[in-house]
Structure 1
Amino acid sequence: MDRVISTATQQRRRLRRWLGAGSGLLLLVAGLLAFRGILQPSLERSRILTAPVETGDVEASLTAAGVIIPAREAVITSPILSTIRRVAVAVGSPVQPGQTIVELDRELTSSALAKLQDEQQQNRNKNDQLRLSLEKALNDFRSQEQVQQVKVRSLQSALRDEQYLLKIGGGTSESVRQAELTLKVAELELQRLREQISNQRAANAADVRELGFTMQIQDRSIQELAAKLAQANISSQQPGVLTWVSEDLGATVQAGDILARVADLSRFRVRATISDAYADALHLQDSVVVRINGTDLRGTISTISPAVDKGVVTFYATLTQDHHPALRANLRADVFVVTKALHNVTRVKNGPFYQGGQEQAVFVVQAGKATRRTVQFGSSNLDYVQITSGLRPGEEVIISDTKDFLDTPELTLQD
């Protein structure tokens, strides 16, 4: 026989059904929330870098590799063919003008100098002999001239006598003509002797000049070799620091071989290289920024090499602060050649997020989320990227690498 269920029992059953339904609903909501979390990726704030969008200057630039070098460096070469006897100064030591850096063996050059001096003495003896010989020849001609002059005067007197005899009837016209002819021949001979004397003087002077030129050339050779011999103890003409020296004792060096380098380390400049693809973008007096261990120094391009070596162009830049404490010889530096300067534009710090194009997606941070947004970019350098559209000053952008989330419209940022 069926019994009537009590009211209390019915209430307990309804309560259990409601609790079961509520538990199921809670489980469903929790599942939906978990599924949504799976569909919407998240990032930890501590693992990303962000930067604010701001207004400022952007200098578009080309990046080159640079090396700091002394503004002035003297290259000291060997004046003679010799061997290295002694190195008197160690690399890195200061040197003063006239201080010996390297000593060379001077024996070979001394022998060559002595040979030149002996040859010059022979030339002097030849010069004396030549003068005596030429003077003797000239004196012979002068003696012949004097004899001929006497002969001419005698013939002139004989002609006058024949003319007088003809006048008083004691002579003949034939005798007068013969006397005139003999005198004419003697005068021509005298004229020939005078021309020979003049020619001899000119020839003598030419021979003396020729030997004199030979002696002058020899004198210069002696002086040059003596000067080179005096420079065999290699020294600097300017104060500075010895940055390099050939230390191969006994090694043979040719005239013109580099033996040492002395630099003035109080002033510096920059030698930089860049791909030849950017050669047309380089101009004299273009502004450059030289970055050394976080310190930026400004300067201008002073020299551009006209030749391309292995696909790179070399140029030199002078620095406004060429004595800055951060400058050290042979220190590597980043060199940025400024091609365009933009002022008061919207910009954001450069970072891994920027792929170098004119348009790309970035993530804008707001209210604990990062929303993807397409942004237009302009000029850029190592520090900043110009924003032409898509972002406003004051907004915050993720500048870390986000290429793994480019297809995700929104990211959750976890603290």
Structure 2
Amino acid sequence: MDRAISPATQARRRRQRWLLIVAALLLVGTGLWAFRGALRPSIEADSLLLATVETGDVEAAITATGIIIPAREAVITSPIQSTIRRVNLAAGARVQPGQTILELDRELTGSALAKLQDEQLQNRNKSTQLQLKLEYGLTDLRSQELVQQEKVRSLQSALRDEQHLLKIGSGTQESVRQAELNLKIAQLELRRLGDQIRNQRQTNVADERELSYTMQIQERNIAELAQKLRQANISAEQAGVLTWVNEDIGSTVNQGQVIARVADLSSFRVRGTIADTYADSLHLGDVVVVRLNGTDLRGTVSTISPAVDKGVVTFYAQLEQSSHPALRANLRTDVFVVTRAHREVLRVKNGPFYQGGHEQPVFVVQDGRAVRRAVRFGESNFDYVQVLGGLRPGEQIVLSDTKSYEQAEELTIKR
């Protein structure tokens, strides 16, 4: 015969069932949590590059390549066409003003100078001959003028005589007219001689002036060639370092050809090149940052070449610290031309994470995890990226390349 179960027993049994259900649920939940943790991607802390969001300046810049060159460099050219006879100093040697660098053969130029001097002697002789010839011609005309003057006076006297004879009835009107005609012809001839003498004097002055000009030109040519001959021993005009010299003894050099360079290595400037696509962004006075072995030197763009050569634009920049110890001639360097500057903005160090867009996801470090978050960026340069939104000062982000975790919303950082 069945007995009724007491209420106390039924209540105990219900508690036991509930306890079993709760335990099962806890067990399932723990298992799911552990399984989820096993599926969550993880990354080693040692392999991460982290950066802290901070407040500072961000200068937007375009990157150029540069080379350090002396601020002042004297280019020495050959004053004459000649051959190199002797090289007294090698490249790298320090030179003082007036110190001879190399010597040119002066024989050919000396012969040319002697020829010019001989021609000048001939010109002087021509000048003497011309003066004698011109003076002889002028003297002859003067003599003819004196004779003609006497002839005019004689004809004037003859006319007076004929007029007197006509007056007393001993002469004829025809004789008077003939005497007048002879006098008029003589006077015209005397006037012609006077004009000829004046023209001859002007011609003499012009001829002498022309020969004088020729002699002056010749004198200048002689002085110029003599000066070039004295400069055949090539010397420095300023103190500095001989950066290059033509050491090919016996080689021919033309007049105006560069044969040596002397530079003042106490100060430097930068010659930069940039792609012509950025030519419109380059302006005189733009700030530049020159990076040398971790040292940043600032300066300004002083000159921009107007021509594009092989797709690049050349510019020159003056440095604020033109005598910095890190500067070396012909040292290649990175040059950053600042186009815009933002002061006291949120920024983070540039790194592999930055893809150059205005908005992109990044991983933010939170409580041992790297959580994916969308962040808006602004201007950037080689060092920093401007943060416009999505991050707060003091937060850390992952700088490392995380392309392999594109689909992950969260990463576990293993320490």
Q: TM-score, normalised by structure 1?
A: 0.90
Determine the C-alpha separation between the residues in 2 that align with 1:38 and 1:242.
70
Contact 1:63 1:335 in 2 (8 A): yes
Matches within 5 A, 1:71-220: 71-220=71-220
Match of 1:7 in 2: none
Q: Secondary structure at the match of 2:407?
A: coil
Determine the C-alpha separation between the residues in 2 that align with 1:81 and 1:35.
90
Determine the C-alpha separation between the residues in 1 that align with 2:163 and 2:324.
109
Greater alpha carbon shift after TM alignment, 102-111 vs 316-325: 316-325
Determine the C-alpha separation between the residues in 2 that align with 1:90 and 1:183.
90
Structure 1 residue identity aligned to 2:411: L
Cα deviation, residue 42, structure 1: 1.8
Determine the C-alpha separation between the residues in 2 that align with 1:371 and 1:208.
101
Contact 1:276 1:312 in 2 (8 A): yes
Match of 1:5 in 2: none
Determine the C-alpha separation between the residues in 1 that align with 2:73 and 2:372.
55
Match of 2:296 in 1: 296
Determine the C-alpha separation between the residues in 2 that align with 1:414 and 1:96.
67
Structure 2 residue identity aligned to 1:275: A
Gaps of 5+ in 1: 1-24
Match of 1:3 in 2: none
Query: CA 1:399–1:117 in structure 2 vs 1: closer, same or farther (change >3 Å)?
Result: same
Q: Deviations over 1:184-221 (max 9, x none)?
A: 11111111111111111122222222222222221121
Cα deviation, residue 36, structure 1: 3.9
Structure 1 residue identity aligned to 2:341: A
Match of 1:286 in 2: 286
Q: Secondary structure at the match of 2:90?
A: coil
Structure 2 residue identity aligned to 1:236: A
Match of 2:225 in 1: 225
Contact 1:162 1:175 in 2 (8 A): yes
Determine the C-alpha separation between the residues in 2 that align with 1:26 and 1:325.
70
Greater alpha carbon shift after TM alignment, 319-328 vs 145-154: 319-328
Gaps of 5+ in 2: 1-24
Q: Secondary structure at the match of 2:111?
A: helix
Contact 1:361 1:406 in 2 (8 A): no
Root mean square deviation of aligned Cα: 2.0
Match of 2:251 in 1: 251
Q: Secondary structure at the match of 1:238?
A: coil
Q: Secondary structure at the match of 1:391?
A: coil
Q: Secondary structure at the match of 1:343?
A: strand
Determine the C-alpha separation between the residues in 2 that align with 1:111 and 1:36.
100
Matches within 5 A, 1:301-320: 301-320=301-320
1:56 and 2:52 matched = no
Q: Secondary structure at the match of 2:170?
A: coil
Q: TM-score, normalised by structure 2?
A: 0.90
Determine the C-alpha separation between the residues in 2 that align with 1:34 and 1:93.
76
Determine the C-alpha separation between the residues in 1 that align with 2:331 and 2:228.
36
Match of 2:241 in 1: 241
Match of 1:14 in 2: none
Cα deviation, residue 175, structure 1: 2.3
Match of 1:331 in 2: 331
Cα deviation, residue 336, structure 1: 0.7
Structure 2 residue identity aligned to 1:171: G
Figure out how many residues of one structure are paired with residues of the other and give that number: 392
Greater alpha carbon shift after TM alignment, 328-337 vs 213-222: 213-222
Cα deviation, residue 400, structure 1: 1.6
Q: Secondary structure at the match of 1:189?
A: helix
Cα deviation, residue 51, structure 1: 0.9
Q: Secondary structure at the match of 1:372?
A: strand
Contact 1:79 1:232 in 2 (8 A): yes
Greater alpha carbon shift after TM alignment, 33-42 vs 384-393: 33-42
Cα deviation, residue 334, structure 1: 1.1
Match of 2:362 in 1: 362
